[in-house]
Amino acid sequence: MLKPQRNAARETRKLDGIWQWQLAPTGHGQSQQWWNAALPQPRPMPVPASYNDIYPEQAVRDHVGDAWYQTDLTLPRGWQDQRVVLRFDAATHRASVWLDDTLIASHEGGYTPFEADLTDRLQAGRVHRLTVCVNNELHWHTIPPGRVVRGPDGRLRQQVFHDFFNYAGLHRSVWLYSTPRQAITDLTVRTEYQGPGGTVDVQVVTAGDAASVRLQLLDEQGVCVAQAQGAQARLTLAQATPWQPGKAYLYTLQVDSGADQYRLPVGIRSVAVRDGQFCINGTPFYFTGFGMHEDSAIRGKAHDAALMVHDFALMDWIGANSLRTSHYPYAEEVLEYADRQGIVVIDETAAVGMNMEIARILSGARDLPEQLYSEAAISAATQQTHLRAIEELIARDKNHPCVVMWSLGNEPDLRPAGASEYFLPLVRHARALDPTRPMTLVNVMMVGPDEDCVAPELDVLCLNRYWGWYAEGGDLQAAEAMLEADLRAWAARHPGKPIVITEYGADTMPGQHSIVPSMWSEDYQRDLLAMHGRVFDRVPQVAGEQVWNFADFATAQGIVRVGGNRKGVFTRDRQPKAAAQVLRQRWLAKRKA
């Protein structure tokens, strides 16, 4: 799916700003047909934003159900003869959209875009009413899964099985954009770098005449270095400048179909797993960086350009070369920026929380179903939602050079019966959609190397490890031995597969100090991360380290969280904890090596 853009053939208009907004129980507004008129008792709500922290009210923060949004929509001058599309970059977790009294779109999944074609629906000079109902409920068949229960006082409560706050709303931009009627509707590029040359395979989907499509590849100076005619072509460069981690080079693919145009940044690079190493452009790559979250005060999960640029600057400062979009697809702007900055991305679906042991701890629920993979829990319906989530992720992000691996999910329990029947078809489907990128499914500590039934099908073993925190807490000496034995067992069981530690860390209260190893202190986090670095250096199969987490982030309330998850190397307002300096020394040294 192509991101809207402005060029000689296309226009864009963002509908971001202050919308009318009102909460309602699930289905209440539908039964009263709230799209037919102004919302009954609206309040102002910024878009994009999570609505949860905008008003200081528990009923808003912990709302379970629908959130209605409304604004005006007019056809911009000069768009009458164009194809006109309305696009939501993200509505969490699902949405229905009405133009005046007509339902024009519905979408499931909180972190990928969806569109409605409004061609010939908008009348010049008329003010149309745009109404959106966003629902935040998570159930067993949704991605991520969750459960809505009724509390003793009769109110609904959302139980989440994952460790981040269930922020909801219109999290990303809303666009109206125009294209010519014979539009370019999709574009796929696949690149290979074989120094000094490279290739760019292009496939264009257009409603117009495919034969008249003209492709030009421009270098950063705007000089055309390769061209071809037709909707499918290979562009070959005898001399190519590769896209490299920390040293991004972006060509521009200019597609001209006669009627329509599109300009796509293209990084020429190869990704492959070879001889147990993760190779970018044929050179072994070692991941340094973080599992992140889209999370900040007040705006919650909304995309914010200032925060993003600042976060990337902090990553550069600390020597990070990569991030994982834990635990859902991030805003496309993040991937575009990573493309430009040369930051390597592991791109993850929102499949997090398929694990009863963790769900019990995080949700406090004592009556969860006994069988994880069953009709009562993670079922064939969940698998269908998951499949669509994978399709939408790949459709959106396939052209980003920064994306070097797909992560199909985080920490599912793979021990119970039904796990391989659930996951293996997903791995195979994802591979068919994109055979060019390695595939992973992030492993949880409790599933050992012999129990992980999906690992044999994966290219890279991504392991989340909490030695020194959830196990051997406070005892770094024991943790060091356990971690090393653990990694060596994985290396022995799965030779030839690179291991990336995608999580390790310790909750840390800034300002807390201790001379002897003490959990929650800054000193403990610093020493725990340093200990992990020593172990990683001793296990040759380790191909990367991503600390959990970049910054402190909001979670549901509970007895294991103090004002959220505190494993950030930075605080939620992006101040460094003591561990930041230790990581910086290690990663800058690796960057130089």
Comparing CA positions, the residue from 459, 465, 437, 443 lying closest to residue 277 is: 459
Interatomic CA distance for residues 62 and 267, integer angstroms: 43
Work out how close the CB of 293 gets to ligand GCB at its nearest, in angstroms, rounded to a whole number.
8
For residues 548 and 502, what is the distance between their CA atoms, to the nearest angstrom? 8
Which residues ranging from 557 to 586 are in contact with ligand GCB (CB under 6 A)?
A: 565, 567
Please report the sign of the dihedral spanned by the C-alpha atoms of residue 320, residue 324, residue 326, residue 329: positive
If the CB atoms of residues 35 and 553 are measured against ligand GCB, the closer one turns out to be 553
Shortest spacing between CB 34 and ligand GCB, in angstroms: 35
CA 193, distance to chain mean position in Å, is 26
- 526 dihedral zone (left: phi>0; alpha: psi -120 to 50; beta): alpha
410 is a site residue for ligand GCB (CB under 6 A): yes
In angstroms, what is the minimal distance from the CB of 503 to ligand GCB?
A: 5
Which residues in 244-271 are b (16+ Cβ under 10 Å) and which e? bbeebbbbebbbbbebbbbbbbbbbbbb
Residues in CB range of 404: below 8 A, 6 or more apart:
271, 278, 280, 285, 344, 345, 346, 437, 438
**Single residue of 159, 254, 363, 464 touching ligand GCB by CB under 6 A:** 464
Tell me the C-alpha distance between 257 and 262, whole Å. Answer: 9
Q: Answer yes or no whether residue 508 interacts with ligand GCB by CB under 6 A.
A: no
* Binding status of residue 411 toward ligand GCB by CB under 6 A: yes
Nearer to ligand GCB, 260 or 503 (CB): 503
Measured from the CB atom, is 251 or 550 closer to ligand GCB?
A: 550
Taking CB atoms, the residue at the shortest distance from ligand GCB is 163
Residue with Cβ nearer ligand GCB (142 or 464)? 464
What would the DSSP string read from start to end of 264-307?
EEE----EEEETTEEEETTEE--EEEEE----BTTTBT---HHH
Least CB distance from residue 379 to ligand GCB, whole Å? 22
- Binding mask 316-355 toward ligand GCB (x if CB under 6 A, else -) reads -----------x----------------------------
DSSP single-letter state for residue 447: S
Tokens of 305: 């350009």
CB of 569 to ligand GCB, least distance (A): 13
Confirm whether 411 is a catalytic residue: yes
Site string for ligand GCB, 518-557 (x = CB under 6 A): ------------------------------x---------
- Closest CB to ligand GCB among residues 312, 469: 469
DSSP classification of residue 215? E
Least separation in angstroms between CB 336 and ligand GCB: 25
Q: Within positions 116 to 175, which residues make up the interface with ligand GCB, using CB under 6 A? A: 163
d(C-alpha 287, C-alpha 545), whole Å: 6
Of 411, 480, 522, 545, catalytic: 411
- Note whether 371 and 416 are within 8 A (CB): yes
- The residue (of 130 and 462) whose beta carbon lies closer to ligand GCB is 462
For the question of residue 503 being annotated catalytic, the response is yes
Residues taking part in catalysis: 411, 503
Residues contributing to the site for ligand GCB (CB under 6 A): 163, 327, 410-411, 464, 503, 548, 565, 567
